[in-house]
């Protein structure tokens, strides 16, 4: 007898040996030069990349400089920072991330292990849509 519990996870009873097997589909993939296993539907992986944390900290620092009047516009700030205006705008967008995702990135808790490439692409501003968006990205990349 075999029963599917959740997303491919199956319980299988081997009657001859009176054994209960749990079958969990896993997938090998490379992450930062080492092989890791991922389980479908599981969001936990390694902690967020340090570069993601650095980008988020930089975004908040730039936002604070704009709010304090140290720079009058993103263009002025980009000249001060010596970066392209469009790149700075993408980084600044990180300040609109859902607070729990920001906290996870800053504290390295590993529930939202997003890459810099994933997080720099356009994402929805509504928090519930952000969670769905990033959850889907993580499931696809795992």
Please report the pLDDT score of residue 39 as a whole number.
64
Mean pLDDT of 74-89: 92
Q: How far is CA 20 from the centre of its chain?
A: 35
Residues 93 and 61 grouped into a single domain: yes
pTM of the complete model: 0.64
Q: In the block, which residue shows the tokens 């400089």?
A: 65
The answer to whether residue 141 is domain-embedded is no
Mean pLDDT of 77-94: 92
Please report the pLDDT score of residue 56 as a whole number.
94
Tokens of 107: 């504290």
* Structural domain count, the chain: 2
Structure letter (DSSP) for residue 97: S
Helical segments of the chain, H only: 50-67, 74-81, 85-92, 99-107, 116-120, 127-141
The answer to whether residue 9 is domain-embedded is yes
What is the domain extent for residue 109? 50-122
Using CA atoms, how far apart are residues 60 and 130, in angstroms rounded to an integer? 19
Residues 10 and 55 grouped into a single domain: no
Residues 73 and 102 grouped into a single domain: yes
The answer to whether residue 33 is domain-embedded is yes
Mean pLDDT of 95-110: 89
Please report the pLDDT score of residue 77 as a whole number.
94
Residue 43's pLDDT band (cuts 50, 70, 90): very low
Residues 79 and 31 grouped into a single domain: no
Residues 77 and 18 grouped into a single domain: no
- Range with lowest mean pLDDT among 4-18, 97-111, 121-135: 4-18
């Amino acid at each position: 007898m075999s029963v599917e519990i959740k997303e491919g996870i199956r319980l299988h009873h081997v009657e001859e040996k009176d054994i209960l097997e749990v079958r969990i589909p896993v997938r090998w993939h490379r992450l930062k030069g080492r092989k890791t296993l991922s389980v479908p539907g599981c969001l936990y992986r390694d902690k967020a990349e340090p570069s993601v944390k650095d980008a988020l900290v930089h975004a908040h620092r730039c936002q604070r400089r704009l709010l304090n009047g140290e720079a009058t516009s993103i263009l002025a700030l980009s000249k001060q920072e010596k970066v392209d205006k469009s790149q700075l705008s993408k980084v600044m967008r990180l300040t609109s991330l859902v607070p729990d995702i920001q906290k996870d990135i800053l504290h390295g808790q590993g529930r939202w292990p997003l890459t810099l490439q994933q997080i720099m692409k356009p994402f929805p501003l509504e928090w519930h849509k952000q969670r769905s968006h990033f959850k889907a990205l993580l499931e696809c990349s795992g």
